[in-house]
């Protein structure tokens, strides 16, 4: 068993070495090919040749939109959990804040009746989500570990319950006629319509690329070094002169802002937001996706978020012995997670540092024995 | 006085770990703080570096009251601690760890100069510069922790148990490096369980027992003090 595992591991390491050793232009060409592939993916003319990849039980383009939102969320949560090492169990709460901000400001069913266009509401949604992140983080980030996890969990529940029961947020009835993003084709038809999900997917994909470039630059700067040092040893980081609280708050706010953006995009596409969109389960799924993919690694987070969201939809419409597999999707999801945490706790595509940290921790355990 | 600690008490929850400690460190000195396990040595260090807030008393650094100053700002004032044991960044390479030591500095030329100095002091680190901190041996990690603290170019270097868990040969080595660092002009406050070595190297020393300072004197005086001999040097 272990030999097979080790062979897989060494094979993967060799692949990683080859990737890092490849000339620059090869890496760029591969990256470009991947990006082109994902832009082409939601076109029927393209995906009909992809065999089992399109989802049988759901509109594949719609699924790809959902997947892209999850990827964006995973990239954002990866900053908080993966880089700064803060366990956030209520990340979806920030997504809800973003979506509801857009809904309240733009929908005719909102009490404030501002009826803003979507585009104007987006920066407000991002800003407000950031503020809510700072408000939640200021009292809690001074604490460590478990406390933060509990407080964030409570936050997400608070948002959900406010959505369900507050008159202002309309509960189950929700907000309708939320405007779509702007833009028209030459013939006067809107780019972002009701039926075709592709433009939304392309929009999210483009934003993912921009966000990833931004996050990458950030992690290679002093800010990134500070985050990594906090994750690895918070006391030592402080002893080296890193203002740990400030940087934790920054990570929290940056993560929140990305979730707010995702929420705003979701509201603009869905055209309708109600309290059923924001279950606690969503927070757990995204966290699991980041850990599954390899927390601390941007590529890992993207792959994790994408795979998890896609697999859940992929089960739809598959029957086995007269049982709809979709009903059991979380059973499989849980199973995969358990197996994963036993054999590969650092995730599918781990960060190299992260792998070293895990090794170090294992060593610590053996020393203590 | 470079560092003055005046009647400092510290609580862990409801347990009082320090009962009114007073000590001073003068510029250019090596001062040792010795005592048994749980005497409050590391706690004193945490109070000085600002990782734990003090309940009462004053801490002054270069005449400035830093009792309530944030830990990271104390580093900027020139006070840097090498944490005990495995206080290095396991996922960072040796060079990245050393680079973190210079986090508060922006003078590239000076940082490069100090990096060379640290790699000269610890040739082992130079050999392993690309290796992850977590894969180093205990002794190498200890050297890395000391080297990293030096990278901040501190006026006062706090060393928490630099010899802990090391083989006798390595202990000798690390203590001679400590002397060398001091001779190059850095003041050192040292916490040690290895009283023999610490007292032999220190100009002055304090003996800590259950959160109180019970004795102080020059290193040589304490080294020959019968009570200290019996309690900490294993000589009857």
- pLDDT per position in chain B (236 positions), as tens? 899 999 999 998 889 999 999 999 999 999 999 998 888 999 999 999 999 999 999 999 999 999 999 999 999 999 999 987 678 999 899 999 999 999 999 999 999 999 999 999 999 999 999 999 988 988 889 999 999 999 999 999 999 988 887 888 888 888 999 999 999 999 999 998 888 889 999 999 999 999 999 999 999 999 998 888 888 877 64
Question: Chain B closest CA to A240's CA: distance in Å?
Answer: 5
Distance from CA of A227 to the nearest CA of B (A): 12
ipTM associated with this complex: 0.90
A 204-223 residues inside an 8 A Cβ radius of B: 222
Looking at residue A362, what is its pLDDT?
61
Over 50: is that where the pLDDT of A367 sits? Answer: no
Minimal CA separation from B228 to chain A, in Å: 31
In this prediction, residues A296-313 reach a mean pLDDT of 91
What is the per-residue DSSP string for chain B? --EEEEEEEEEETTEEEEEEEEEEE-TT-EEEEEE-TTSSHHHHHHHHHTSS--SEEEEEETTEE-TT--HHHHHHHTEEEE-SSS-S-TTSBHHHHHHHHTTT---HHHHHHHHHHHHHH-HHHHHTTTSBGGGS-HHHHHHHHHHHHHTT--SEEEEE-TTTT--HHHHHHHHHHHHHHHHTT-EEEEEES-HHHHHHH-SEEEEEETTEEEEEEEHHHHHT-HHHHHHHS---
CA–CA separation, A93 and A160 (whole Å): 7
Taking the CA of residue B187 and the nearest CA in chain A, the distance in Å comes to: 17
pLDDT given at position A368 = 35
pLDDT above 50 (res A369): no
Q: Chain A: nearest CA to B89, how far in angstroms?
A: 6
pLDDT for A280 beyond 90: no
b/e per residue, A316-348, with b = 16+ CB within 10 A?
beeeeeeeebbeebeeebeeeeeebeeebebbb
Question: Between A149 and A101, whose confidence is greater?
Answer: A101
Q: Residue A139 to residues A92, A116, A230, A309, B200: CA-CA distances in angstroms?
A: 20, 33, 18, 33, 47
Poorest-pLDDT segment among A1-10, A277-286, A319-328, B124-133 = A1-10
Distance CA A129, CA A73 (A): 13
Q: Label the pairing between strands A323-324 and A319-320.
A: antiparallel
Tokens of A28: 């760029």
In chain B, which residue's Cα lies nearest the Cα of A224?
A: B100
* d(C-alpha A22, C-alpha A16), whole Å: 10
Q: Which ranges in chain B are annotated with CATH 3.40.50.300?
A: 1-78+155-236
Say how many CB pairs under 8 Å bridge A and B: 95
Could you tell me which chain A residue has the CA closest to the CA of B150?
A: A240
CB-CB contact of B206 with B23 (8 Å)? yes
Cross-sheet strand order for the sheet of B187-192: B79-82, B156-160, B187-192, B30-35, B204-209, B212-218
Q: Are A297 and A347 in contact (CB under 8 A)?
A: yes
Domain B1-78+155-236 superfamily per CATH: P-loop containing nucleotide triphosphate hydrolases (3.40.50.300)
Core vs surface per residue B15-50: b (16+ CB within 10 A) or e:
eebbeebebbbeeebbbbbbbeeebbbbbbbbbbbb
Does pLDDT of A359 surpass 70? no
**How many whole angstroms separate alpha carbon B56 and alpha carbon B61?**
17
Cβ(B66)–Cβ(B6) under 8 Å? no
CB pair distance less than 8 Å for A359 and B134: yes
Predicted pLDDT of residue A366? 45
Query: How far, in Å, CA of B211 to CA of A152, rounded?
Result: 38
Q: Is the pLDDT reported for residue A4 higher than 80?
A: no
Taking every pair of Cα atoms in chain A, the longest distance, rounded to a whole number of angstroms, is: 73
To the nearest whole Å, the CA of A9 is away from the closest chain B CA by: 18
Cα separation, A299 vs A297, in Å, equals: 6
Q: Tell me which of B85, B91, B158 to substitute to probe the interface with A (most A C-beta atoms closer than 10 Å).
A: B91
B81, β-bridge pairs: B158
Q: Is the CB of residue B41 less than 8 Å from the CB of residue B47?
A: no
Partners of A346 on chain B (C-beta within 8 Å) are none
Closest partner CB to A239 (pick from B71, B92, B133): B71
Convert the pLDDT of each residue in A233-267 to its tens digit: 999 999 999 999 999 999 999 999 999 999 999 99
Query: Are the beta carbons of B35 and B209 closer than 8 angstroms?
Result: yes
pLDDT in tens, B145-189: 999 999 999 999 999 988 887 888 888 888 999 999 999 999 999
- Report the DSSP pairing between strands B156-160 and B187-192: parallel
* pLDDT recorded at residue A361: 64
DSSP per residue, A334-355: HHHHHHHHHH-TT-SS--HHHH
DSSP-derived secondary structure for A134-195: HHHHHHHTTS-THHHHHHHHHHHHHHHHHHHH-TTTTTTT-B--PPPPP-B-TTS-BSS-SS
Phi, psi dihedral angles at A360 (to 5 degrees): -60, -40
Cβ contact, residue pair B101, A233, below 8 Å: no
Partners of A352 on chain B (C-beta within 8 Å) are: 91
Name the residue of chain B whose CA is nearest to A353's CA. B91
Ranges of H-type helices in chain A: 2-21, 24-40, 44-47, 60-77, 92-106, 118-140, 146-165, 198-219, 222-232, 234-239, 244-270, 280-293, 298-314, 329-343, 352-368
Length of chain B: 236
pLDDT tens digit sequence for A180-207: 898 888 888 888 888 888 999 999 999 9
Please tell me what DSSP assigns to residue A42.
T
Per-residue pLDDT at B66: 95
Is the four-CA dihedral A272, A278, A283, A288 of positive or negative sign?
A: negative
State how far the Cα of B236 lies from the Cα of B227, in Å rounded to an integer: 9
Phi, psi for residue B20 in degrees, rounded to 5: 60, 65
pLDDT at A219: 87
Cβ(B79)–Cβ(B48) below 8 Å: yes
Which of A225, A227, A241 has the highest number of chain B CBs within 10 A, making it the mutation to test binding with B? A241
pLDDT of residue A328: 81
Q: Residue A71: its pLDDT value, please?
A: 96
Cβ–Cβ of A232/B49 closer than 8 Å?
no
Prediction pTM value: 0.87
For residue A91, what is the DSSP state?
T
Contact criterion met (CB below 8 Å) for B196 and B208: no
Which pLDDT score, from 0 to 100, does residue A190 have? 86
What is the arithmetic mean of pLDDT over A3-26?
76
Distance (Å, whole) CA A131 – CA A253: 7
Q: What is the pLDDT of residue A76?
A: 96
Closest CA to A281 of A292, A289, A269: A289
Domains of chain A are 60-368 (1.10.3470)
Nearest CA in chain B to A223: B103
User: How far are the Cα atoms of A93, B77, B137 from residue A98, in angstroms, in the given order?
Assistant: 9, 42, 48
| Residue A59 burial (C-beta neighbours within 10 Å; 0-12, 13-18, 19+) | middle
Cβ-Cβ contacts under 8 Å, A232 against chain B: 89-92
Condensed to tens digits (0 to 9), the pLDDT of residues A103-148 reads 999 998 888 888 899 999 999 999 999 999 999 999 888 876 678 8
Tokens linked to A169: 């947020």
Interstrand relation of A323-324 and B64-65 (parallel, antiparallel or unpaired): unpaired
Dihedral sign from CA coordinates of B37, B41, B44, B50: negative
pLDDT score at A217: 93
Which tens digit of pLDDT belongs to each residue from A212-226? 999 999 988 999 999
Residue of A nearest to B136 (CA): A360
B75/A241 Cβ within 8 A: yes
> How crowded is residue A64: how many other Cβ atoms within 10 Å of its Cβ?
27
């Amino acid at each position: 068993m272990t030999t097979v595992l080790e062979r897989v591991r060494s094979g993967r390491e060799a692949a990683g070495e080859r990737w890092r050793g490849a000339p620059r232009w090869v890496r760029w060409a591969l990256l470009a090919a991947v990006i082109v592939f994902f832009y082409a993916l939601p076109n029927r003319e393209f995906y009909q040749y992809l065999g089992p990849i399109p989802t049988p039980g759901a509109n594949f383009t719609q699924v790809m939109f959902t997947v892209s939102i999850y990827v964006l969320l995973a990239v954002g949560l990866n900053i908080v959990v993966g880089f700064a090492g803060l366990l956030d169990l209520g990340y979806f709460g920030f997504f809800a804040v973003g979506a509801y901000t857009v809904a309240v400001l733009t929908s005719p069913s909102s009490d404030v009746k501002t009826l803003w266009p979507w585009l104007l509401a987006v920066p407000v949604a991002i800003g407000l989500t950031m503020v809510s992140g700072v408000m939640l983080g200021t009292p809690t980030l001074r604490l460590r570990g478990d406390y933060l996890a509990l407080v964030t969990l409570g936050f997400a529940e608070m948002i959900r319950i406010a959505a369900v029961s507050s008159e202002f947020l309309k509960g189950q009835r929700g907000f309708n006629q939320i405007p779509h993003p702007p833009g028209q084709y030459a013939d006067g038809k809107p780019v972002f319509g009701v039926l075709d999900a592709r433009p939304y997917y392309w929009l999210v994909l483009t934003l993912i690329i921009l966000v990833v470039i931004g996050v990458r630059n950030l992690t290679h700067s002093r800010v990134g070094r500070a985050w990594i040092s906090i994750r690895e040893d918070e006391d030592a980081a402080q002893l080296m002169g890193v203002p740990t609280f400030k940087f934790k708050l920054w990570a929290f706010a940056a993560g929140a802002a990305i979730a707010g953006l995702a929420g705003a995009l979701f509201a603009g596409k869905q055209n309708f937001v109600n309290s059923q969109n924001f279950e606690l389960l969503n927070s757990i799924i995204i966290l699991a996706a980041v850990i599954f993919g390899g927390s601390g690694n941007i590529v890992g987070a993207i792959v994790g978020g994408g795979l998890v969201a896609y697999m859940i939809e992929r089960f739809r419409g598959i029957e086995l012995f007269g049982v709809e597999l979709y009903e059991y999707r979380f059973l499989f999801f849980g199973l995969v997670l358990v197996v994963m945490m036993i054999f590969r706790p650092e995730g599918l595509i781990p960060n190299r540092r992260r792998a070293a940290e895990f090794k170090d921790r294992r060593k610590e355990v053996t020393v203590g024995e | 006085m470079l560092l003055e600690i005046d009647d400092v008490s510290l609580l862990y929850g409801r347990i009082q770990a320090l009962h009114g400690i007073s000590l001073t460190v003068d510029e250019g000195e090596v001062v040792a703080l010795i005592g048994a396990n749980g005497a409050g040595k590391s706690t004193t260090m945490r109070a000085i570096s600002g990782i734990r807030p003090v309940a009462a008393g004053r801490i002054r650094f270069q005449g400035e009251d830093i009792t309530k100053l944030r830990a990271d700002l104390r580093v900027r004032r020139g006070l840097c601690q090498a944490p005990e044991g495995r206080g290095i960044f396991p996922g960072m390479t040796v060079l990245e760890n050393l680079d973190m030591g210079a986090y508060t500095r922006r003078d590239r030329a000076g940082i490069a100069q100090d990096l060379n100095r640290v790699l000269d002091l610890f040739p082992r680190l130079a050999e392993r510069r690309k290796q992850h901190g977590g894969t180093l041996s205990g002794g190498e990690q200890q050297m890395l922790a000391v080297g990293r603290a030096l990278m901040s170019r501190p006026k006062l270097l706090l060393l928490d148990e630099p010899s802990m868990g090391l083989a006798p040969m390595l202990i000798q080595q690390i203590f001679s490096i400590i002397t060398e660092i001091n001779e190059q002009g850095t003041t050192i406050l040292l916490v040690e369980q290895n009283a023999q070595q610490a007292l032999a190297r220190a100009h002055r020393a304090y003996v800590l027992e259950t959160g109180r300072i019970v004795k102080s004197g020059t290193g040589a005086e304490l080294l020959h003090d019968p009570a200290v001999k019996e309690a900490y040097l294993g000589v009857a």
